[in-house]
Structure 1
Amino acid sequence: MSAAAATSAARQRRMRAILPPTILAVIAVLAVTVPLAAGVPLTTFSVFNTFQNAATLGLVALAVGLTVMAGEFDLSTIAVFTLGGLLAVKFGEASPFLGVAVAVGAGMALGAVQGGIQAATGISSVPLTLGGYIVIAGLCHIVAGESILVYGDYDVGLWLDGTVAFVFSPRSLIVLSLFVLIWLAMRHTAIGPMVRSAGADRRAARASGVPAGRVVTGVFTLSGALCGLGGALFAYSTTAAKYDLGLDPFIFAVTAVLVGGIDVRGGRGSVIGILVGVLALSLLDTIFIQLAMPTWVIDLARGGILLVVVLVEAPDLAKRLAAWRNDRRSREAAARLNQRDTQQP
């Protein structure tokens, strides 16, 4: 690697480490100052709602982020999330634990199938998981029978969304605990280096003894389990499960992953970065909801943040801007010289 390439790579690593907490800090400052100026100051209930929103879509974002770190992209996550909620309601009337087990098991099976096919064939995960999304979305319609499934055990939802230490709930603490556990596993065991190695360069990973195929299959299996669990918790919380949640939750998850510093080329990023991205976007939603802003304003804000992240983390951006400025100055100098020559007798 040349010195220039090494410098560029080091700059990108620094930006991926610094940018997510910086964005979260800026949004936190806005969350305090803007509502206060508007006469609706932030309260502990607002913070509680932020963690609730993070708990709803945090596991989907974690699932997407892990597959991206492994060098793939799982488009089926939101469909597995939806199916997990439906199965949890369907099988959880007698016992909520049974519903969760069925949802997680189904998610693991679907993830393992997709990951196994990708590992065995080497085909792109984008068309593979797009097909998986379409198939699973069809299964959601079948399971739901084209209707909304209602969960009758309201006590489960009330417990999941009960207040703990003013700003948390059992549901948000479960999700935060999973983030911490997976972060610890990625940081302090061989799992993290193997996932990043498979994501950065699969051929080199195999040459160094990393079982890249099993790693990819395992990541997809974990992705399915997280989405199934997330869907089950959300369905119990709302005491209902829909067969179509739209694409907004998936867009939120992908945006959170990118804001959290995950490199779309694979092999780079952290679980904590994903959590920071989820919290940043959840807090942003809380601000706009508290100010009663229309949804299109939220979309504009998310898109603006994502655009800033992409531009700042763009490889060789500074070098390209400098080259563009130098080229412009050279052309202006040449134009002035030509003008002076034409003015001479």
Structure 2
Amino acid sequence: MKRPSLRRPEVSLPVAALAITIIGFALIPAYTDSALAPFDVYNALQIFARLGLLTLALGLTMIAGEFDLSVVGTYAVGGMLTVQAGQGHWAWGLLAAVGAGAAIGLLQGGLIARLRIPSMPVTLATYIALLGLASALSGGLTRTYSKAAVTLWVDQPVLTYFSPRSLITLGLFIVAAGVLSLSRWGRELRAIGGDRRAGRVAGVRVDRLIVGTFAASGVLSALGGSLLSFSLGSANPDPGVQPLIVAAAAALLGGVSLAGGRGHALGLLGGILAVALLAEIVTVAALPQYVSQLFFAGLLGIIVVIDAPDLHSALVRQRTRLRPGRPHPSPAGAQPTGQI
């Protein structure tokens, strides 16, 4: 029999995390002097919009058993290209960012798939190179976007709690969830993440799938950087490593396995929403910033222990040995009592 769906980590982790953070958010007036306002929900969704596409991009590669460290570099280059190419019209900036993200993803995916090399060193090298490229494009300076109307539009309130930027991000999560659930691509992505060799034997076009996944990661990362530049009215050549850390924490909180082969877009959505609510709790309650950092550090430690591949089997063996009434195995070579 299959276990109930709520017991599966890709479901239980994001559901539990989101439920806990929603309760903590709702109880803010009980342990602070601050009352909740609609703006607090809106601001949490803005945080979600800032890091959501980065989490989705990273999560997709993790489901495939890879890890795209270059997402933050693509994020920075996408934002910089948006500002520089979109001064005449916002669409040119958006197209430049998305096209660059697709090219970066195709190049990385092609190298990883064709040469059968690990993704970590490739994407790390790409990340460093992209930060250098973003700095070269801007001369090492923050660049300003002159179209104030676009900046006002992407962040204008919609239905009180949303903005066009958060709705676009939410819509892409829903599209990704549909593709992963209803298409062959989603099933094959989990298959190669769980066992790539078995996937090849089963006829899965592994190389094409890896290239497509990295291309999707590049497009999503660049689009996230583009929307952020529209929102801020500027682009920073070096966003730092914090976006990568938060995106990785949100992906793991969303039920994605460190070993690959497990995860869903809706779980990733729950993970990043939990992270966004936690960040808003820290802000509204005026807690020190290190509180969220300690939370993420402890959370990652717990997930790593739970997700350790041999931990569950070791615990089962130990429980079997300690079960009352079960005879313990005799040492190798020893004769059972009462026999000659």
Q: Secondary structure at the match of 2:12?
A: helix
For 1:188-207, what aligned pairs fall within 5 Å after superposition? 188-207=182-201
Residue 274 (1) aligns with residue 268 (2): yes
Q: In the alignment, is the contact (CA less than 8 A) between 2:44 and 2:277 conserved in 1?
A: yes
Name the residue aligned to 1:342.
none
Show the counterpart of 1:38: 32
Residue equivalent to 1:20: 14
Equivalent residues, number: 324
- Residue 225 in structure 1 maps to residue 219 in structure 2: yes
Counterpart position of 1:138: 132
Structure 2 distance, partners of 1:215, 1:15, is 24
Residue of structure 2 in register with 1:339 after alignment: none
Using the TM superposition, give the Cα deviation of residue 309 of structure 1 relative to its aligned residue in structure 2, in angstroms. 3.2
Residues 163-312 of structure 1 correspond to what in structure 2 (within 5 A)? Answer: 163-312=157-306
Q: Deviations over 1:15-61 (max 9, x none)?
A: 33212111110111111113432121222111111110010110011
Structure-to-structure mapping, 1:46-61, within 5 angstroms: 46-61=40-55
Aligned partners of 1:12 and 1:313 also within 8 Å: no
Matching residue of 1:100: 94
**RMSD (CA atoms):** 2.2
Secondary structure in structure 2 of the residue aligned to 1:204 = helix
Distance 2:126 2:194 in 1: 24
Amino acid across the alignment from 2:296: R
CA separation of 1:10 and 1:263: change in aligned 2, threshold 3 A: farther
TM-superposition CA deviations, 1:43-86 (whole Å, max 9, x none): 21111111100101100110000001111110000000011000
Deviation at 1:148, TM superposition (A): 0.7
Q: Which AA in structure 1 matches 2:118?
A: S
2:112–2:118 Cα contact (<8 Å) kept: yes
The equivalent of 1:117 in structure 2 is 111
Q: Which residue in the other structure is 1:338 paired with?
A: none
**Could you tell me the percent identity over the aligned residues?**
40
Question: Please, what TM-score do these two structures have when normalized by structure 2?
Answer: 0.90
Spell out, residue by residue over 1:145-186, the C-alpha distance to the aligned partner (whole angstroms, 9 max, x if none): 111100011111110000011110000000000000111011
Per-residue CA distance 1:249-277 (angstroms, 9 max, x = gap)? 10000000000000111111101111100
Unaligned 5+ residue runs, structure 1?
Answer: 1-5, 331-345
Q: 1:86 aligns with which of 70, 80, 83?
A: 80
The offset of 1:304, in angstroms, is: 2.3
Give 1:340's aligned residue.
Answer: none
Q: CA deviation at 1:134?
A: 1.1
State the shift of 1:314 in Å: 4.2
Q: Which has the higher helix share?
A: 1
Shift of 1:10: 8.6
Amino acid in structure 2 at the alignment position of 1:224: G
The alignment partner of 1:243 has SS state of: coil
* Structure 1 pair 328–31 and aligned structure 2 pair: CA distance change class (3 A): same
Offset of residue 324 of structure 1: 6.2
| Equivalent residue for 1:63, pick from 53, 57, 65 | 57
Cα–Cα, structure 1 residues 94 and 11, in superposed 2: closer, same or farther, change >3 Å?
Answer: closer
Residue 217 of structure 1: SS of its match in structure 2? helix
Contact 1:281-1:302 within 8 A present in 2 as well: no
Give the aligned residue type for 2:122: L
- Give 1:248 shift: 0.3
Q: Could you say if the C-alpha distance between residues 72 and 315 of structure 1 is closer, same or farther in structure 2, counting changes exceeding 3 Å?
A: closer
Residue 73 of structure 1 aligns to a residue in which SS?
Answer: coil
Q: Check the 8 A contact 2:28/2:36 in 1, yes or no.
A: no
Separation in structure 1 between the aligned mates of residue 203 and residue 323 of structure 2, nearest angstrom: 51
Q: What corresponds to 1:333 in structure 2?
A: none
Give the counterpart letter for 1:252 in structure 2: V
Which amino acid in structure 2 is aligned with residue 220 of structure 1?
F
